[in-house]
Structure 1
Amino acid sequence: MTPYVLVVEDEDPIATLLDYNLGKEGFRVERAADGEEALLKVEEETPDLILLDWMLPKVSGVEVCRQLRAHPETRRTPILMLTARGEETDKVRGLDTGADDYVVKPFAMTELAARIRALLRRARPELVDERLEYADLVLDRGSHRVTRAGHAVHLGPTEYRLLDFLMQRPGRVFTRERLLDAVWGSNTYVEARTVDVHVGRLRKALHRPGAPDLIRTVRSAGYSLDERA
């Protein structure tokens, strides 16, 4: 599943540069132009990583970082501070507020992308690992293949993305709306009922006689990958 990076940057040329280059690196990028907008976007959907400028309108980057670290949902979300400040004291202050890393402008995109991947690898290895495993199910991102108990599972593109997302956090229940955002994209307008159709197809593809159903339906809540289903 494509890692979701929130870029919080008020300088449009830099934000556009980051959006374009991180997109080429395989990240899903959303942008916020000030600290207030950033907090709203995080509330709507928790990013896998936040690229946060130090100097922002309305709410400063340091204050955004402080608020995110105070909230249980974002306490461990990787935050990489991006700023023109290069003094040692400013670096220390940024890290003291809870930032995980610090990059000074101007920066090289190759280094920035490498630092982002390093943070994701520590915080959410399932996002960057080539191979996901759960129970007798294996999803190999490198070969784009899925097997269950050693037998090939043939999936359509949407079912593959759906399974990838569910395997990142097995046991967690996701609403239809959350699955729509993660698998279809927040800017795609499809009905929530569409999720039911594709979950049904995924469940059918994963079925093996005598083996447990790995997709759990939670009434009025959503779906999860759970071998206790």
Structure 2
Amino acid sequence: MSGTLVIRGLHAVRGDKPVLRGLDLEVEPGEVVALMGVSGAGKSTVLRAVAALEPFTAGLIEVGGFRLAPGPVPRESRLRELRRKVGMVFQSHALFPHLTALENVTLAPVHVLGWPAATARQAAMELLESLGVGPRAGAYPRELSGGEAQRVAIARALAPDPAVLLMDEPTSALDPARRGALGESLRKLARGGRGLLVATHDVDFALAHTDRVLVLHEGRMAEYGTSSMVLTQPSEPATRELLAHERRE
């Protein structure tokens, strides 16, 4: 597990509307980077492009030597190396409702990576235990609380031992105590050598638990720097607008 996420000159469109307009970003192993911006700024598009879930029209994305090029998303058979390097936790968790927590976590290692079932189960249980949901391994998603479902989703994303973890609005359904616990979990993952890219609108969370912040505005980088500098001493109008908007919410 090693690798830097490199994004250079990233452009993307949705229909005929530009969504990303030349984004540059690096996420190093061991750091947590927040991707921030008002709704529609392009945060989720960045994550989905890195995870090869959406195409992009220009630029490059590289993770630990694996490079994605502009154009249609490659066939899944050509993305196995990327699936080992990048994990994604969706805002809605996206757990398979007919599978238990344990089965959700073992699915990709067995069916995508070809692990023996016993090996996958052992690794999955270790992940679930490390995230505090080991006793819920036999529960179905409908039986899990929001916080439990999120931790199962994190375990599923971590099962292939990816170098980079992507998270889309991870605090949206959490109370303050669970947000703090999540932040501590992310710092622990970063200390283990992963790079984390977190799309979030949660200013307090980003300030407390991330190293750097990139503010997106209309698909472009508006401001970039340490979390404390960007979020307490913003220099750009787009950042000040974002902070004012979140304080009103």
Superposition TM-score, scaled by structure 2 size: 0.32
* Higher radius of gyration, 1 or 2: 1
Instruction: Work out which structure has the larger RCO, using CA pairs closer than 8 Å and 6 or more positions apart in sequence.
Output: 2
Q: Whose strand fraction is larger, Structure 1's or Structure 2's?
A: 2
